Amino acid sequence: MSRLPAFLLVGALIVVNYFVFFRGEQDVVAPPEPSVTPAATTDRPDAADDAEALAKATTPPPNQVFAGELGRGDRVLDALQRLGLETTESRRVVRAMERVFEFRNARPGDHFRMEVNPAGRVEHFEFARSPLEVYVVERDGDSYAARRRNIEKKVELVGNGCVIRGNYQESLLGCLGDATVVAAVNELLAWSVDLTSDTRDGDELRIVLERVLADGQFLRYGKVLAVDYSGKLASVRLFHHEAGQEEGGYYTASGDTAARRYLRSPLKSFGPGLTARGPVRPSLHRYKRHVGVDYPVSKGTPIIAVADGKVSFAGPKGSSGTLVNVKHENAAVSYYAHLSRLAPGLRKGKKIARGDLIGFSGSSGDAARPRLHYALKIKGRFRNTLETTAEAIGKLPAAAKAAFEEAVAKMNALLEGTTPYDSSLDS
């Protein structure tokens, strides 16, 4: 029994030590570490949003831009007010511009453009009658200043060309890309090349022409200064030269005029009624009394006079059907047979100019199908119009020879340096 108190004392000490040394360690809370809050920076998304909002609040709204054009019977004042410009402001702009331009000269299609600030005041106004005629009104404080813009116009020489593939007219339009240029080329070539019968696949055309720029931007093409046609049946090279004339003229390298006494063909090269199936193949016919040429063209093809003259006959004539005879100088007469009808107003005694319409092809008389029978008699003798080279009507003045030769050398260099476009290579 004497040992029991000792055991109890030892047990009590073990329990006390447990709670003091082991359980107490688990309940101790470590002191908190100091927390560091990062300083605010502009890299935070909310800071960027604040900066953007501030910029929007301090940046004024942009100016508005309006554009339009005058319609038939339009006044500039009315056009501006239709766009919402206040009447007083419209009048101020118009009055300013009237110092440099009379609005009574404005016409439908004239363009304008204006820039209006948020307060409804015009900052900038432009009025364009053409790319080369532009007027500007700008705000200067509480007033407006108007002026005509100085447009820099530049003319440069360029070469162009094409290889004829299939239809002659379509080939030219495809590579030259401008109907006005094509018409000018056709008019020049018509003196020496029958564009309805002399053209063949693979023939080459080269030209030199003016290209007009306005403030560095393409405006239009100008004059055709040189043309070269190299074909299987016909070839010609022509050059433009003023030679003291206001408009100038076209000459061969030797100085002969491009204009001949007679056109190469009585067919209007391209126009309403002319077949587009391909080149016309004229055939020479020899009769006991004369030589003529038959053009197998579709009904209604326009027929033109080959030279200046006076109509000596117009009407039905036996096997020739509807016939027109034209007397020319140098005792020449041209004949156009088997027409379907005459040109309006054509009659005997009427004066007619080279290239004027005299009628339309048909199958009147003994013609089995639509065609034109054309003949030319000079000094009582019928000529083979397919072989006869037309006589030039003049020569370059001697005083212009040196300047012309210099221009020819320049044009020849441009022609030779031009590679004609060949549509067959694209396929």
Q: What is the band of 253 on the pLDDT scale with cuts at 50, 70, 90? A: very high
Burial category of 131 from C-beta neighbours within 10 Å (exposed 0-12, middle 13-18, buried 19 and up): middle
Query: 75 or 4, which is more confident?
Result: 75
Q: Are 367 and 322 in contact (CB under 8 A)?
A: no
Q: Average of pLDDT values for 384-412?
A: 86
Percent of the chain with pLDDT over 90: 45
Residue 289: predicted pLDDT: 56
Does residue 177 form part of some domain? yes
Please check whether residues 179 and 217 belong to one and the same domain: yes
Q: Which residue has the tokens 């000490």?
A: 13
Give the tens place of pLDDT for each residue, 172-231: 998 898 999 999 999 899 888 888 778 899 999 999 999 999 988 899 999 999 999 999
Buried-state track 150-177, b at ≥16 Cβ within 10 A, e below 16: eeeeeeeeebbbbbbbebbbebbbebbe
Q: Which residue has the tokens 């609040």?
A: 57
Query: 252 or 44, which is more confident?
Result: 252
Total domain count, the chain: 3
Give the tens place of pLDDT for each residue, 20-66: 444 444 444 444 444 333 444 445 556 556 656 555 556 778 888 98
Does residue 104 form part of some domain? yes
Check which CATH number belongs to the domain holding 114 and give it: 3.10.450.350
Please check whether residues 222 and 188 belong to one and the same domain: yes
Range of the domain at 76: 64-148
Give the tens place of pLDDT for each residue, 119-156: 889 999 999 998 889 999 999 888 899 999 999 999 99
Q: What is the mean pLDDT of the chain?
A: 83
SS3 sequence of 334-349: EEEEEEEEECCCCCCC
Taking Cα atoms as reference points, which of 282, 358, 356 lies closest to residue 325?
358
Check which CATH number belongs to the domain holding 324 and give it: 2.70.70.10
Taking Cα atoms as reference points, which of 287, 294, 267 lies closest to residue 373?
294
Give the tens place of pLDDT for each residue, 361-384: 999 998 889 999 999 998 888 887
SS3 content of the chain, % helix, strand, coil (to 5): 25, 35, 40
Q: In which order are the strands placed within the sheet that holds 64-69?
A: 64-69, 111-116, 122-130, 133-140, 143-148
Q: What is the band of 275 on the pLDDT scale with cuts at 50, 70, 90? A: very low
